[in-house]
Structure 1
Amino acid sequence: MSSSDIEFSSSDYAVQLDLIGRVNGLTAAKNFFSSLRDQDKTVKTYGALLNCYVRVGLIDESLSLMKKMKEMGFLSSPLNYNNLMCLYTHRGQFEKVPDVLLEMKTNGVSPDKFSYKICINSYGARADYDIMEKVLQEMDSQRDIQMDWCTYSLAANYYIKAGLKEKALHYLKECEKKVGNDAEGYDHLISFYARLGNKDDLKRLWDLQKSKCRKQTNKNYIVMLGSLVKLGELEETEKLIDEWELSCKTYDFRVPNVLLIGYCQKDLVEKAEAKLQDIIKRRKIAIPNSWSIVATGYMNKNKMEKAFECFKEALAIQTQNRGWKPKAGLISSILSWLGENGEVEDAEAFVKLLRTKVPVNREMYHALLKAYIRNGKEVEGLLVSMKDDKIDENRDTMKILSLQDQNSEVTG
């Protein structure tokens, strides 16, 4: 666009500045801003530069720019004040947020819905619930602000965290009055009631969601299933999985994964594996996350051979979810078990498969070294490979290698 004959507006330059900051960093954004003509340095381009400062968490620079914008008369809307409040929030300086809201009012700028929400969040984060309620009441009294379910859910969340159930229930009722036919709002309400252990309201809201919203997505089912699991209602979870399977057009393994997690949490990992095997027989290839859940369940029961077998299944189908990131703790446990108990061929095959998903590391080589030494296999070639992979021997490596001498003494 820049190389064509298109005439850029200040809005276009603001968008370009923001994109430069996101892609090339703050220095490039500042250089671009400096290169603009004076007439193009408007409230929008200054605001875009402020966004860049906020994005990288620079408080002093943001305040300095805000001061300059004020002198130029560029602080007539709540947007830039909101950015500064977000910056304080992200830096954990919640106590400074209300001061920005006060400054906004003092300068004759009316806070918008987002301004109040940031301030409510700042008081909730500091457990200052009385002032949080006063801000809520002030927000509700503004003629040009329409209260929504998100605001009430924000307050309810902090009361649930504080264990103030009656207060939480009050705001959940206010939230429900505003939710209308918003499926996401019902998801929040269902999750909140699950945290409060309220099964009846949870089920009531699920029925309401189904009647008010046109269709339940996989995400909606995941929220409801997770809430039932949280309450320990595994039979209800199983029934809901069956209901979902009858209605779903695309089989999303993330949905039954919720049940698999529930089984494993209740020490029913064998049941989780049986359920997964049944789904695979009736459907198609699972995703690696599903096998990883079961593998973790077996690991927690110290059934490492089963954990090993299930995790191999996960690695074998990793292309079904390229974004899958296996848990480091599970990998470490299996590698440790292989080093102490596995056959050399199993350890080698596992590490080879594992290297297709995670970068090679010392832990892999240590597992192989232990397996080699325990089975009387020479380790020189393995040490050369370790060096080729730029992994230096350390104290733990030497300790493992010392086992070779001990084994020689025993066999000698």
Structure 2
Amino acid sequence: MWALRRAYNPLKRRGFCIGTSRACGAKSELGSCHLDEKASVGEAAQVIADRSLSLKRFYSTTGDSSKFFMGRRSFSSQAGAKSSGEVDDDLEDGFSELESPASAEAILESNAEDENEDELISEPEPSEGDDEDAAVEEPQNELELSDTETDVTEKRSPRKGVPSALFKAIVAAPGLSVHNVLDKWVEEGNDLTRAEISLAMLNLRKRRMYGRALQLSEWLESTKRLDFVERDYASRLDLIAKIRGLHTAEKYIEKIPKSLRGEVIYRTLLANCVSINNVKKAEEVFNKMKDLEFSITPFACNQLLLLYKRFDKKKIADVLLLMEKENVKPSLFTYRILIDTKGQSNDITGMDQIVETMKAEGIEPDINTQAVLAKHYVAGGLKEKAEAVLKEMEGGNLNGNRWACQALLPLYAGLGKADEVGRVWKVCESNPRFDECMAAIEAWGKLNKIEAAEAVFDRMLKTAKKLSSKHYSALLKVYINHKMLVKGKDLVKRMADSGCKIGPLTWDALVKLYVEAGELEKADSILQKAVQQSQMRPMFCSYMVIMDQYTNRGDIHNSEKMFHRMRQAGYMSRLRPFQSLIQAYINAKAPAYGIRERMKADNVFPNKALAGQLAQVDAFRRTAVSDLLD
């Protein structure tokens, strides 16, 4: 573990050194733990100056110790240490499914845990039952709530992907009549075993039919048809969080028998906090788990790592220190997160060191980890290294490693190798899966082969009875990247004509399509109409792509308007909107009166980059010229 921390956080490059951290850990046992600014150098000095990171609460081993928020500020929700100018859409509450299906972030999110007890189901196979409504809030993290002893055989069962009769009956029912269907199912003498229920629930979850899954769970509990164990309550909690929100989910926990409110219950709540990027609530839940003296698991730590990878990379070192102190062994997914974090920071040397550490611990990179590595090699211009990793992924026999094709297609396209993309697609072409088709569309789009991308999409149309918005989005992204407004509009019309639901994912595509075409006002109008005509909430990035354009123009009025709309939509207490808003004032060369107070009211605290922006819009700052004039 020490080797992992050193690989992630080299002493020569990071002031947040092991010695200082250990000292902090030691102090925490006594009382308070404010890191000494003199003990750190470089960027850590600024971190400590801005955030007195108190680790006592993070390292405490009893439930009656002092509160998490110690000193001036602690390991808390004032996150957002993005570097200057960095715009990262993974700060969204709903992640755009228009992003690359083989991107490092998508691979991390769709394969969020490899261990049996903590596995998150990957992106489900599309079906006629795909519902965009269900995927608005959490299109990546689908929690498979199970324990190691009871579910390993179920997950390895050949029936896992086969829809059950119960599932088919539930899907065929009108939306709000699942209870009636289940009553009829029992009256007709059909089996209602735990195995049948589990298979139906799994199929509903894979297709993101969370509403129907929740109705099934409610019926089972109300009719006493199933003796609920902890994982059943956890599954119900997960569905409530997805459908009705975290507040309702927390209230449900109080209704669970106290004897069954174990670690699985709270890690379920934690995962849902992370899936919607609620930093403050995630930290509160993690602290609650500490208070209840639950053992710290790799799953819980990985959730924090995912969260801080998006919001505050500096806190990753603290999580690693916690894992070392609590003797929590990193999982393959832990390494994958760290590799991707280093890659995002363009630290290829650090990324390679983490891979070496992982191998030294006896853990070999799986195909998803290799895809993350290859992506960052491609982005860093290290073509030889990328090609070597891609060949390893193929394993010498691509037909035998068919499941690697989805990741290989866009990666070869990133290298500009059209021949290799064609070779890989040929393996899939005779009987392609939907995810392979979407990857092929993306790959041909990257290579500027629009007709080839359209041909793959047409193949999907002929194969499936009905496509979901996710499948249309693959081709829409190609049109967006090539500023093909007319074709994009025509494709959206085809979506509507086919009966496909037009929701936040499609709105996001349309907004980006018009922005890329230079029609900002039209993009703004589309988003506003979508809000007025639907109860669904637009995606965070849909607002930000418009706001950033107004910012670039120095248009304070419209930037403030978008900022207000985001608050109305519930996107509050975030650093990114404030960064964009303040930059609008900077570009307009105008002071931003009261901006610090507005941030404080939203519990948003500036990082180093934002502090520099604030100084530029401070109407009362003193300069050499102002002193002379006074």
Counterpart of 2:373? 155
Counterpart in 1 of 2:446? 230
Kindly indicate whether residue 432 of structure 2 is the aligned counterpart of residue 216 of structure 1.
yes
Deviation, structure 1 residue 227: 2.9
Residue identity opposite 1:224 in structure 2: A
CA contact (8 A) 1:53 1:62 kept: yes
Alignment partners' CA distance in 2, 1:169 and 1:290: 37
Residues 68, 192 of structure 1: alpha-carbon distance in 2 compared, 3 angstrom cutoff: same
Structure 1 residues 359 and 139: CA distance shift in structure 2, 3 A: same
Alignment of 1:242-253 (within 5 A): none
Closer/same/farther in 2, CA of residues 357 and 117 from structure 1, 3 Å limit: closer
Partner of 1:88: 308
Partners of 1:225 and 1:259 within 8 A in 2: no
Quick check: 1:115 aligned with 2:314?
no
1:110 partner amino acid: K
Letter in 1 for 2:412: Y
Cα offsets for 1:121-155 (capped at 9, x unmatched): 22112222212111122223333x45321101101
Separation in structure 1 between the aligned mates of residue 368 and residue 390 of structure 2, nearest angstrom:
10
AA aligned opposite 1:217: R
What is the SS of the residue equivalent to 2:411? helix
Distance 2:301 2:339 in 1: 15
2:416 pairs with 1:168:
no
1:125 aligns with 2:344: yes
1:248 deviation in Å? 5.3
| Distance of aligned partners of 1:46 and 1:180 in 2 relative to their CA distance in 1, 3 Å threshold | farther
Preserved CA contact (<8 Å) 2:371 2:407: yes
**TM-score normalised by L of structure 2:** 0.39
Is residue 409–residue 424 contact of structure 2 (8 Å, CA) maintained in 1? yes
Structure 1 residue 30 corresponds to structure 2 residue 246: no
What CA deviation, in whole Å up to 9, does each residue of 1:146-199 have, x standing for no partner? 532110110111122222323322322232229764545213212111121122
Q: Is residue 88–residue 96 contact of structure 1 (8 Å, CA) maintained in 2?
A: yes
Q: Which of structures 1 and 2 has the larger relative contact order (alpha carbons within 8 angstroms, sep 6+)?
A: 2
Aligned counterpart for 1:177 among listed residues 369, 392, 395:
395
Distance, in Å, in 2 between the alignment partners of 1:17 and 1:251 is: 31
Q: Residue type of the partner of 2:432? A: Q
CA contact (8 A) 2:370 2:393 kept: yes
Counterpart Cα distance in 2 of 1:66 and 1:252:
39
**Cα distance change on mapping 1:158 and 1:4 into 2, 3 Å:** same
Correspondences of 1:216-295 after superposition (within 5 Å): 216-217=432-433, 219-224=435-440, 226-233=442-449, 291-292=490-491
Any stretches of 5+ residues in structure 2 without a counterpart?
A: 1-219, 523-528, 534-630
CA separation in 2, counterparts of 1:17 and 1:83?
Answer: 17
Rounded to whole Å, the distance in 1 between the matches of 2:495 and 2:457 is 28
Give the match for residue 259 of structure 2: 39
Aligned-partner Cα distance in 2 for 1:110–1:155: 22
Cα distance, 1:27–1:152 mapped onto 2, change above 3 Å = same
Is the CA contact 1:18–1:49 (under 8 Å) kept in the aligned structure 2? yes
CA separation in 1, counterparts of 2:439 and 2:257? 51
Q: 2:319 aligns with which of 100, 109, 128?
A: 100
The two structures, once aligned, show a CA RMSD in angstroms of: 4.7
SS in 2 for 1:2: helix
Aligned to 2:241: 21
Residue identity opposite 2:414 in structure 1: R
The count of residues paired between Structure 1 and Structure 2 equals 300
- Shift of the alpha carbon at 1:100? 1.6
Provide the C-alpha distance between the structure 1 equivalents of 2:463 and 2:283, rounded to a whole number of angstroms.
51
Where does residue 318 of structure 1 map in the other structure?
A: 497
Whether contact under 8 Å (2:437, 2:457) holds in the other structure is: no
Higher helix share: 1
Q: Which amino acid aligns with 1:151?
A: T
Following superposition, the deviation at residue 81 of structure 1 comes to 1.0
Q: Is the 8 A contact 1:229 1:259 kept in 2?
A: no
Report the Cα offset of residue 30 of structure 1.
Answer: 2.2
Q: Secondary structure at the match of 1:109?
A: coil
After superposition, the C-alpha distances for 1:236-270 in whole angstroms (9 at most, x for unaligned) are 779x669959x958697979x969968x9599x9x
Answering whether residue 298 of structure 2 is matched by residue 78 of structure 1, we say: yes
Q: Percent identity?
A: 25
CA distance in structure 1 between the aligned counterparts of 2:328 and 2:350, rounded to whole angstroms: 21
Taking a change above 3 Å as real, the CA distance of residues 29 and 183 of structure 1, as seen in their structure-2 partners, is: same
Partners of 1:94 and 1:126 within 8 A in 2: no
**Superposition pairs of residues 125-144 of structure 1, within 5 angstroms:** 125-143=344-362
Conserved 8 A contact 1:78-1:111: yes
